[in-house]
Amino acid sequence: METTNAPRKAELQDTADISRTLVLAFDDDPMMRWFFPEDTTRATMLADYFSTLFTRQYLLNGVCERTDAAVSFWVPAEAQEKAVPDAETIRRLIGILGDRAGLFKEAVETAAAHTPGEPHWSLALIGAAPAAQGTGQGGALLRSGLVQADAAGLPVYLESSKAANLPVYEHFGFAVREEFALPGGGPTLWGMWRDPR
């Protein structure tokens, strides 16, 4: 099947495809493995987690784009305060996370304390299915979001829990701004920043 690198807007009807892509993309992600440590249930729980975030949070207040096998969720500066989970979303996430919900809450609070205060775009999430890595689909999504942030004259912030991804982001102009560990024995996160161009 031919794939395309051209980013397109992600729609509600794309939810199942987006979840499948992100389950594959984040299977080896340190933070997702920390939140969902059981190999036997991780894929199902990740699918529910990503579907919930997409349909109830980022689709409503973010810029969601996809290719055939990659997905990105961005939050423009003007949507930062709106792109947070409401009470029903929190209830659903607690149900998905089960006994890891407390760790998730601490992780979110810790990350929020390290988020820069100045106006910026956030790259909330980007992932490509392993079979598509190296085909340029993730890069196309990165470029698309960065063009939009640059057009707004604003910097971009992201957090990564996977050290292997840092050089990829550096290639696109990001630099590590801060390194911090999540509480409760969680993984290290790298906060990365890119000034507008």
For the chain, give the mean pLDDT: 94
Would 167 be classed as within a structural domain? yes
Q: Using the 8-state DSSP alphabet, how is residue 58 labeled?
A: I
Would 105 be classed as within a structural domain? yes
* CA-CA-CA-CA dihedral for 156, 48, 56, 53, to nearest 10: -10
Please count the structural domains in the chain. 1
pLDDT > 80? residue 63: yes
Would 113 be classed as within a structural domain? yes
CATH code at position 121 = 3.40.630.30
What is the rounded distance in angstroms from the CA atom of residue 185 to the CA atom of residue 173?
A: 30
Tell me the whole-structure pTM to 2 decimals.
0.92
Q: Which of 35, 88, 43, 79 is nearest to 59 (CA)?
A: 79
Would 122 be classed as within a structural domain? yes
Three-state DSSP at 121 gives strand
Q: Which of 73, 61, 75 is nearest to 149 (CA)?
A: 75
Would 3 be classed as within a structural domain? no
pLDDT confidence tier of residue 1, bands split at 50, 70 and 90: very low
Domain holding 121, by residue range, is 8-194
Task: Say what the pLDDT of residue 4 is.
Answer: 61
What are the φ and ψ backbone dihedral angles of 190, each rounded to 5 degrees?
Answer: -110, 120
38 C-beta neighbours (distance < 10 Å), count: 11
Read off the pLDDT of residues 116-161 as tens digits, 9 standing for 90 and up.
Answer: 999 999 999 999 999 988 889 999 999 999 999 999 999 999 999 9
Would 2 be classed as within a structural domain? no
